[in-house]
Amino acid sequence: MNSILTMNQEKANSILVRKEKNRQKRRGNIIQAAERVFLNKRYQNATIEDIASEAEISVGTIYNFFPNKETLYIEILHGISADLLEGLRRSVSNHQEPNFSLEHLIQLRLSNYHRHKLFFQIFLDHGSSTYPDFNAIPATIIDSYHEYLERLGDYLIHSIQTDHEPQFFPIYLALSFEGFLNAYMGYEATTPKKPESLVKVIRYIKCMFSRMNRSTRTESKSKKKMIKEMNWMFNLFLGDYQYLFI
């Protein structure tokens, strides 16, 4: 009798586990579908019906998991922010040579630029009605944004400076890096010229930041001239991306 009860209990547990796996899989599919819709239509134009159609499920099924598209978008932000931080960690830790780790990081950002933009756009359009109310964005997401910039800045500082006393705040290096990527992607999207291959673009950007490193190593350059060159690069990179100062 006890053995029968045990078997029944194990079977019931197995069914529950399978149901939960199916539920999580469906939830993940909804998030992925929503991400594609938000990328294609932008947040303000996307509807729950669009997401349901993309996921090939009913609207009611989505509401079983998410009460509205704002909540769904915030869930996507959590995923992207976690991926950004993990990608930065892997880029830095998996490559001992700064040039290789920087190249890997640039590749990560450019290859995932449009997806990452769903995250960064929240801060670009802060206060507008284009995206969810900024006040509704969880503090954990805002914290992850600042954490990413701080980690990126610290990494870039250690990559380009040697025995010299640091001349620039790490945050400005992070801002210049992100500003340049945004400016480049905007240029690529609008120029009539045939775009360079991703490999070449990665190398160009890496060389620009590596040039900072060479500047710090060249003793013949005066400190005043080095600072002038660095400030010029900052002004070039930052452009109109004031949102990064939030």
Residue 197 tokens read as 């291959």
In percent, the amount of the chain with pLDDT more than 70 equals: 72
Residues listed for the chain: 246
Instruction: Report how far residue 182's alpha carbon sits from residue 116's, in angstroms, rounded to the nearest whole number.
Output: 11
| Angle made by CA atoms 199, 155, 115, in degrees to the nearest 5 | 50
Instruction: Report how far residue 90's alpha carbon sits from residue 86's, in angstroms, rounded to the nearest whole number.
Output: 6
Average pLDDT rounded to a whole number, residues 172-179: 87
Average pLDDT rounded to a whole number, residues 213-224: 48
Instruction: Report how far residue 105's alpha carbon sits from residue 83's, in angstroms, rounded to the nearest whole number.
Output: 12
Read off the pLDDT of residues 91-127 as tens digits, 9 standing for 90 and up: 887 655 666 788 888 889 999 999 999 999 888 877 6
Furthest-apart CA atoms within the chain: distance in Å = 89
> Contact at 8 Å (CB) between 176 and 151?
no
Average pLDDT rounded to a whole number, residues 45-65: 96
pLDDT at 66 over 90: yes
Read off the pLDDT of residues 14-50 as tens digits, 9 standing for 90 and up: 777 787 888 889 999 999 999 999 999 999 999 999 9
> Contact at 8 Å (CB) between 119 and 80?
yes
pTM reported for the whole predicted model: 0.76
- Of 116, 120, 200, 208, give the one whose Cα is nearest residue 156: 208
